[in-house]
Chains A and B, each alone.
Chain A
Amino acid sequence: MEFSELIKTATVENVLLSCAGLPAVRGTLCITSHHLLLSSCPGGDVELWLLIRNVDAVEKRVQNLGWYQPPRTNSSARDTRLTGSSGTITLRCKDLKVLQLEIPGMEECLNIASSIEALSSVDSVMMMYPFFYRPPSLKLEEGWHQFPLEQYFQQISSQTSQWRLSTVNQDFSTCPTYPPAVIVPAAVGDEALRKAARFRQGGRFPVLSYFHPKNRTVMLRSSQPLTGPNRRRCREDETLLGTILDEGERGFIIDTRSAQAAKQARMTGGGTEPKSSYPQWRRLHRPLERGRPLQESFAKLVEACSDPSLSMDRWLGRLESSRWLSHVKAALSTACLAAQCMDREEATVLVHGAEGTDTTLLVTALAQVILDPSCRTLVGFQGLLEREWIQAGHPFHLRCAHSAYSHARLKQEAPLFLLFLDCVWQLSRQFPFSLEFGERLLLSLFDNAYASAYGTFLCNNEKERSLCKVKESTHSLWAWLNRPEEQQKLLNPLYSHNALVIWPSVEPQSIQLWQGLFLRWIRPSQHLDEAWAEIQRLVEENNTPAKESTGNRLSQSLSDHTAGMENRR
């Protein structure tokens, strides 16, 4: 396939671009294989540089005017031509921005719209922009091997010898969605792992997700066991979970489905761990929404946010009926429960839902942010995302194929990663000094998960990434974000290390709408930005260099004076 086949009209002149909150710009529109560009007429400055992959939905409206448009004052000759028709294209982007293009000429308008539609729905990973993006300042391999699981394993093995790094999945044959290396109980051999994998959906056998250094408890994650209607058992799976617990010790299984849903799953071959076969484990059901209902919740919320004419009652009503904040509360509560089991009850926890790639990861990742200060640093958080989302096999390609606006028939889209980011944002609001990074990182992660110039969120799992040679042929987002000048923008100026567990309040009064994301392009934010800049200035002024500089100022005024005297002499 050639991109040029998809581009029916590459340039149109005299296009009017408008975007909420900004003055409209007139210029030349240009479509390339991955970008939509608009450069303003005089001077030719680029006003818009939009990744076409970022377009979620294209709406077009054409008007066949059929009469002569009277020439406007101060307009060029081109304006006075017999246009006869024009069209408007509304681009709704995955980052929730909405753009409008007014294009003279009906045919051009339709061509542009269909080109954008075709280019934005290219589904082949290898055709995506990250495979073509070559920024001069970055090296290809940079950032890809910054967070190897081996490194995390070394941290653990320095404190306990009960775990080992297994390469049973080296060739992705045991579990196609796991990375090549996983951390498993030292007492369980690879053969047993292979058998246990056959008893878990998608082969996702229980692996270590987090080791809590404070009291040496662990959190595991897996997918559901394939007990099925005949209550199948698997000795290896039982041993695997059994060896983790000492005699008399108790573990908690947090199932992210309701008890009934878990029971029903037996009819389709899934199920839960029955008490009789796993006597030391206690099951807790905490239903979390995923899949289509979550995607619809997201779409409803975004729709409510983009209608400024809503009365207060309608606004609150739609905020409620979207149920998004309920999902935030549920996710936070469940993560807190997992954290509480470990930190307070000193018990081992196993988290799973059905496939173990969605709500499971939401809970395990969130629990670590709550428990562990090292996950709350800029680099530590990236490591957590790499370990618990990307390498753990959250299917980003499927889940983030479309965002809130798409009219396309939804397949497997669901904003679980966004829900995670929202929960982290809630934590940052309740503990404003405890996270080293600010809202900007979270926004940037959201944007990049849905459309990116970097390869980090491409594909669904490590196996696919290796087949597509993502790590060899694209740049890593982390390499970009960790450049010092970028890092500077992402840091939270108020941060100071907090070694404690941060238990959030999950009362509805404490959970807020993430305006910075959902109203990013809608609310006027100038005053808030300025206030934030002022906070930053105050903090910087207060930092030691500032205190030193006062000394400098003083010695300066001293030496100035001496210099003056020297001159006089």
Chain B
Amino acid sequence: MEHIRTTKVEQVKLLDRFSTSNKSVTGTLYLTATHLLFIDSSQKETWILHHHIAAVEKLPLTTSGCPLVIQCKNFRIVHFVVPRERDCHDIYNSLLQLSKTAKYEELYAFSYNPKQNESEQVKGWQLIDLAEEYKRMGVPNAYWQLSDANRDYKICETYPRELYVPRTASKPIIVGSSKFRSKGRFPVLSYYHKNKEAAICRCSQPLSGFSARCLEDEHMLQAISKANPSNRYMYVMDTRPKLNAMANRAAGKGYENEDNYSNIRFQFVGIENIHVMRSSLQKLLEVSGTRGLSVNDFLSGLENSGWLRHIKAVVDAAVFLVKAIAMESASVLVHCSDGWDRTSQVCSLGALLLDSYYRTIKGFMVLIEKDWISFGHKFSDRCCQLDGDPKEISPVFTQFLECVWNLTEQFPQAFEYNEVFLLQIHEHVHSCQFGNFLGNCEKEREELKVKEKTYSLWPFLLAEQKKYRNPLYNPDFLPELSLLEPNTVSFNFKFWRNMYHQFDRSMHPRQSVLNLIMNLSEQNKQLEEDIKELEAKIKQRNGQLDVVLVKEHQQSAHPAPVALKTPPCFKKEQPPIPGNETVRTIEGSNTADNRYSELVSEFSKAEPAVVSLEYGVARMTC
């Protein structure tokens, strides 16, 4: 609290980012220990978590006050105008301090209290059990076993304690291989396809330089290859562009020499590094944030940012991976430089294409826990949880979510979850409200005692999974373990408006098909349940009638006909089925939101906006 000098400022204006008529709402700005809160005159609340703030900027003073622009990690951009410069300055300074945290212990997760008792907290953390997940995949088995080599994080600090390796890979091989791999990240199992008996393995780049070899590492790869009885060769996918991999050789790193490893097929797939991705996103945001953008400026900006090219590259790599497994039954070893960015993207996306379990709500949580959290994707550095090196920031995980979103667009019935689920996960990867994504690896989280001091996100998402269900989901869309084959022709990749303009209401469709369909399917389910219940009751009643009938039969030769004129079960009060009118929020919209009126300056009659398209973000964070 020592950073907060002014807690409340009145008469603050919130400008609409995309309206040229400088439309604004006036309200009061509050600064709390965790949030910035703006309540406008119609009592609409805008909550912004301090950890979500990526940048604060104070613009030159204008006649109406001092403009303050806040950019958030969830791509919300708010533009306030504070009447007095002094207040603006105070808030600016406070936000600068509050949005940058030096120590993990100061993050919101350590103070967030959702009113759960201890056992609920523990149970929450146990919701996702990776050992259970490997069992589901079919390991340990005759070829793969759990290794205790990293039990004390001695071999690799950034790997989890429990790792699955080929049975034939002895401890010396593991140790030797890990010494030959960047950051000690030796090849381990990421996903096992039980029908094909093929595995996705992951590691970091070998320290091969121009000619170095390591027999243990060669044995390690051979062990992986032999752990697959159905195929003699395996693929090694280097997810980097060839040029980058070659440049690494000069630094004593590099890639596998096909001559030294028996039966490997080596392949570059050309995903760019974290720095290219960071600047690509920067360019994308510059374009999409421009006011008064023409279609051609937008398209050329989209092209120049390279963003969709990178998204396509990741999906293409995943498609290459799953084809090797599904078509050739070959195991694949995936790596990049350190094996925690591109490798996580490709392994997790590959598994998602191969295994329908990861297309369920629970399965997707497991997938993120496995390939991202446990294998040490550096969430803290990449999402800038602590004030650190800006060169470490990169939207690698965002790209993964965007790849998944593109798949959901191509296969509307294959996923149990909807877009809101992806957006909510993205929200919380940056919110630091839950312990899951804190730190850079499992070891760090253990040191922070995350499981004792913070809460897990997943039970909260599961509790409100109704919101995240895709109403069109068809669990039998494809037979189990059959491949999802996306078409990766360029036109299939679209700009993700709901991610990058989630908070820019005027840009979205004014009527949401998703919400309508969700409600419809909810209602239908309710009806179906009612019918079942009623049918059961009828059965029960009729059963009783049978007994009565039999008894009556015994008593008299001419039983009175059973009257069923008003079956009592019909009297059961039906839950009110909300008519479609409540669901279809029909809206016109507001001309002032749009820019076709630019030249007719007199046109500025504002209409009360009736549009409400925001995702329930504030609800969870406050």
Contacts A325-B299, A538-B520 known; A503 to B538 CB distance under 8 Å? no
13 A-B contacts (beta carbon < 8 Å)? A312-B306, A316-B490, A323-B295, A336-B597, A431-B509, A432-B509, A502-B588, A503-B591, A542-B580, A550-B531, A555-B567, A558-B542, A561-B539
Q: Report how far A429 CA is from B509 CA in the complex, Å.
A: 7
Residues of B within 8 A of A431 (CB): 509-511
Query: Which positions in A face B, CB cutoff 8 Å?
Result: 284, 305, 308, 310-317, 319-320, 323, 325-326, 328-329, 332-334, 336-337, 340-341, 343-345, 429-434, 494, 496, 498, 500-513, 515, 519, 523-524, 527-528, 530-531, 534-535, 538-539, 541-542, 546-547, 550, 553-555, 557-558, 561-562, 565, 568-569
Q: Are B586 and A340 in contact (CB under 8 A)?
A: no
Residues of B within 8 A of A530 (CB): 412-413
Q: Which residue of A lies closest to B487 (CB)?
A: A524
Q: Report how far A60 CA is from B303 CA in the complex, Å.
A: 36
Decide yes or no whether B308 CB sits under 8 A from chain A. yes
Residues of B within 8 A of A506 (CB): 594-596
Q: Are A531 and B413 in contact (CB under 8 A)?
A: yes
Min CB gap A222→B, angstroms:
21
Q: Report how far A315 CA is from B506 CA in the complex, Å.
A: 27
Q: Report how far A510 CA is from B511 CA in the complex, Å.
A: 13
Q: Are B491 and A340 in contact (CB under 8 A)?
A: no
Residues B289-338 near A (CB distance < 8 A):
293-300, 302-303, 306, 308-309, 312
Main secondary structure of the interface of A (DSSP, over half): helix
Min CB gap B318→A, angstroms:
16
Q: Are A505 and B312 in contact (CB under 8 A)?
A: no
List the 9 shortest-distance A-B pairs measured between CB atoms, nearest first: A500-B588, A508-B298, A531-B412, A315-B490, A316-B303, A320-B299, A333-B596, A312-B309, A336-B596
Min CB gap A499→B, angstroms:
8
Residues of A within 8 A of B258 (CB): none
Residues of A within 8 A of B471 (CB): 538
Q: Are A340 and B597 in contact (CB under 8 A)?
A: yes
Q: Are A508 and B597 in contact (CB under 8 A)?
A: no
Q: Are A340 and B603 in contact (CB under 8 A)?
A: yes
Min CB gap A256→B, angstroms:
14
Residues of A within 8 A of B538 (CB): 554, 557-558, 561
Fill in one digit per residue for B479-504: 1 if any A CB lies within 8 Å of its CB, else 0.
00000000101111111010011000
Q: Report how far A317 CA is from B523 CA in the complex, Å.
A: 45
Q: Are B597 and A312 in contact (CB under 8 A)?
A: no
Q: Which of A315, A317, A530, A557 has the most CB of B within 10 A?
A: A315
Min CB gap A532→B, angstroms:
8
Min CB gap B452→A, angstroms:
44
Q: Are A326 and B295 in contact (CB under 8 A)?
A: yes
Q: Report how far A175 CA is from B534 CA in the complex, Å.
A: 70
Min CB gap A319→B, angstroms:
6
Q: Which residue of B lies closest to A335 (CB)?
A: B596
Q: Report how far A405 CA is from B493 CA in the complex, Å.
A: 25
Q: Report how far A460 CA is from B493 CA in the complex, Å.
A: 40
Min CB gap B272→A, angstroms:
13
Q: Are B294 and A509 in contact (CB under 8 A)?
A: no
Residues of B within 8 A of A284 (CB): 599-600
Q: Are A515 and B491 in contact (CB under 8 A)?
A: yes
Q: Are B294 and A508 in contact (CB under 8 A)?
A: yes
Q: Report how far A326 CA is from B300 CA in the complex, Å.
A: 12
Residues B522-549 near A (CB distance < 8 A):
523-524, 527, 530-531, 534-535, 538-539, 542, 545-546, 549
Residues B12-34 near A (CB distance < 8 A):
18
Contacts A431-B510, A433-B516 known; A329 to B295 CB distance under 8 Å? yes
Min CB gap B165→A, angstroms:
38
Q: Are A494 and B299 in contact (CB under 8 A)?
A: no
Q: Are A345 and B300 in contact (CB under 8 A)?
A: no
Contacts A509-B507, A527-B411, A535-B513 supplied; 13 other A-B pairs, CB < 8 Å: A316-B299, A316-B300, A332-B596, A337-B596, A430-B509, A431-B509, A434-B511, A496-B586, A507-B506, A541-B524, A550-B530, A558-B567, A565-B562
Residues of B within 8 A of A510 (CB): 497, 507-508
Min CB gap A297→B, angstroms:
12
Q: Report how far A511 CA is from B596 CA in the complex, Å.
A: 14
Residues of B within 8 A of A534 (CB): 413, 472, 474
Decide yes or no whether B466 CB sits under 8 A from chain A. no
Q: Are A523 and B510 in contact (CB under 8 A)?
A: no
Decide yes or no whether B559 CB sits under 8 A from chain A. yes
Q: Report how far A523 CA is from B487 CA in the complex, Å.
A: 9
Residues of A within 8 A of B524 (CB): 538, 541-542, 546
Q: Which residue of A lies closest to B506 (CB)?
A: A505
Among B474, B491, B495, contact of A523 (Cβ-Cβ < 8 Å): B491
Min CB gap B62→A, angstroms:
25
Q: Report how far A488 CA is from B127 CA in the complex, Å.
A: 48
Q: Report how far A360 CA is from B589 CA in the complex, Å.
A: 25
Fill in one digit per residue for B574-591: 1 if any A CB lies within 8 Å of its CB, else 0.
000100110010111111
Contacts A326-B296, A340-B600, A503-B590 known; A554 to B511 CB distance under 8 Å? no
Min CB gap B599→A, angstroms:
7
Q: Are A505 and B593 in contact (CB under 8 A)?
A: yes
Residues of A within 8 A of B492 (CB): 523
Q: Report how far A517 CA is from B17 CA in the complex, Å.
A: 33
Min CB gap B410→A, angstroms:
7
Residues of A within 8 A of B122 (CB): none
Residues of B within 8 A of A316 (CB): 299-300, 302-303, 308, 490
Fill in one digit per residue for B596-620: 1 if any A CB lies within 8 Å of its CB, else 0.
1101101101000000000000000
Q: Which residue of A lies closest to B537 (CB)?
A: A554
Min CB gap B294→A, angstroms:
7
Q: Report how far A354 CA is from B414 CA in the complex, Å.
A: 51
Min CB gap B240→A, angstroms:
19
Q: Which residue of A lies closest to B490 (CB)?
A: A315
Q: Report how far A472 CA is from B487 CA in the complex, Å.
A: 49
Contacts A429-B509, A519-B491, A534-B474 known; A508 to B534 CB distance under 8 Å? no
Q: Report how far A326 CA is from B506 CA in the complex, Å.
A: 19
Q: Which residue of B lies closest to A534 (CB)?
A: B472
Q: Report how far A502 CA is from B590 CA in the complex, Å.
A: 9
Residues of B within 8 A of A333 (CB): 595-596
Contacts A505-B506, A524-B487, A527-B412 known; A312 to B308 CB distance under 8 Å? yes
Residues of A within 8 A of B510 (CB): 430-431, 502
Among A311, A500, A528, contact of B412 (Cβ-Cβ < 8 Å): A528
Q: Report how far A312 CA is from B493 CA in the complex, Å.
A: 9
Q: Are A500 and B591 in contact (CB under 8 A)?
A: no
Q: Report how far A98 CA is from B500 CA in the complex, Å.
A: 37
Contacts A538-B521, A550-B530 known; A340 to B591 CB distance under 8 Å? yes
Q: Report how far A565 CA is from B562 CA in the complex, Å.
A: 9
Q: Are B303 and A317 in contact (CB under 8 A)?
A: yes
Contacts A340-B591, A494-B516, A558-B567 known; A509 to B559 CB distance under 8 Å? no
Q: Report how far A326 CA is from B293 CA in the complex, Å.
A: 11
Decide yes or no whether B517 CB sits under 8 A from chain A. yes
Q: Report how far A547 CA is from B579 CA in the complex, Å.
A: 12
Contacts A311-B309, A316-B308, A550-B530 known; A513 to B564 CB distance under 8 Å? no
Residues of A within 8 A of B605 (CB): 344
Q: Which residue of A lies closest to B313 (CB)?
A: A312
Residues of B within 8 A of A332 (CB): 596
Q: Report how far A518 CA is from B521 CA in the complex, Å.
A: 32
Residues of B within 8 A of A311 (CB): 309, 490
Q: Are B588 and A498 in contact (CB under 8 A)?
A: yes
Min CB gap B317→A, angstroms:
14
Q: Report how far A300 CA is from B312 CA in the complex, Å.
A: 23
Q: Which of B288, B501, B584 has the most CB of A within 10 A?
A: B584
Fill in one digit per residue for B72-98: 1 if any A CB lies within 8 Å of its CB, else 0.
000000000000000000000000000
Q: Report how far A503 CA is from B606 CA in the complex, Å.
A: 13
Contacts A498-B588, A527-B410 known; A323 to B296 CB distance under 8 Å? yes
Q: Are A508 and B293 in contact (CB under 8 A)?
A: yes
Residues of B within 8 A of A527 (CB): 410-414
Q: Are B535 and A326 in contact (CB under 8 A)?
A: no
